[in-house]
Structure 1
């Protein structure tokens, strides 16, 4: 779920931070830049782990800050495909179930990846697993806030770097696109033992 990733970045330390320990200033700057942010094809950065190496620092003309290339390890949230995780149901719609882990909300379980057979109940705005027990069917609802165990089936990275507001002809493009999450985890619960924890409790 959490991995250590080796990264490199040029750290700019402004003059008003020169009075504090240089390493402390680097740590503060790196955490401010990366913590709780998604790096494309890397994952959700959590916190700086350690500094591997500091290259020589430079001060450029017209800029009183120091610039240093820093090699470091960062703790990153990036579950591997097929990893089993536990989260809580955040919301439901006809297309999917949204799951949160508290610190990360962009987890989706598509309708086709739910336990079979499942149906969306419009009145409740919830999904229900139609569980067959002997000759009766029972609707096991996926209530908001319930803990759910799921398997990671895919991950999706989207480059959210701002693009030019003009097209090739120089015409302005209306900002009508729906903002996409930079990092989405896709899960499945269509296997025995997966789904709401309460479904499988025997006690």
Structure 2
């Protein structure tokens, strides 16, 4: 789910950060540039992991910024295909279900990747799975497990916000990266479904084990009784023979 990626870059330290120790100033500059950002073909950057090397700082002419060449490792969120990830349902539409994690909401499960016999309830804005006559709901806020199917990289347009005459935004800038998941296999979907079933199976399994144990104990007692009767017969024969 999380990987470490090595990056080489030129960062700039502003004069207000000159009072900080150099490692701390470099770390803050790297996190300000990369943390919570999507880097093409790398993934969603979380934060700097460690600093591998850095050059001497050079002050830029007329700016006062210190330019430093750095090599560092950064923690990146990029799950592999087929990985099972836990999230929470954010909202649902007719196209599918949006799932949120603690640090991103860019996880989408299209309706084609839900259980068979699932349908969308327009009034409650929720997807429902009809499992052999029982309706199970993908409620908002439910903790779910989903399987990563693929990741999408989306080319970004220049950051110019287009507005109409009234000042309303015509087109918002979309995300550069998202995960496509599925919830169509046993064990996936709301954890509440499978947790209750597992508890029921454990209770049933415990009852079966108890019954088996009673049968085994009963069998041992019966065998011991038969052996005891045999020993008594032998003792009686010995006494009679004496």
TM-score range, shorter chain: 0.7 to 0.9
| Structure 2 gaps, min length 5 | 162-168, 200-242
- Whether 1:159 aligns to 2:160 is no
- Between Structure 1 and Structure 2, which shows a larger proportion of helix residues? 2
Q: How far is 1:24 from its partner?
A: 1.3
Aligned to 1:37: 37
Aligned to 1:145: 141
TM-score by length of 2: 0.74
| Structure 1 gaps, min length 5 | 166-174
Aligned to 1:168: none
Aligned to 2:124: 124
- Whether 1:194 aligns to 2:163 is no
Is the 1:40–1:159 Cα contact (8 Å) retained in structure 2? no
- Whether 1:86 aligns to 2:69 is no
> Residues of 2 paired with 1:154 and 1:5: CA distance?
20
Aligned to 1:114: 114
Aligned to 2:97: 97
Q: Which structure has the larger Rg over C-alpha atoms? A: 2
* Greater relative contact order structure (CA < 8 Å, 6+ sep): 1
Is the 1:40–1:158 Cα contact (8 Å) retained in structure 2? no
Is the 2:157–2:173 Cα contact (8 Å) retained in structure 1? no
> Residues of 2 paired with 1:42 and 1:159: CA distance?
14
- Whether 1:16 aligns to 2:16 is yes
> Residues of 1 paired with 2:75 and 2:107: CA distance?
19
Q: How far is 1:34 from its partner?
A: 1.4
Q: How far is 1:198 from its partner?
A: 1.6
TM-score by length of 1: 0.87
Per the alignment, in what secondary structure is the counterpart of residue 31 of structure 1?
helix
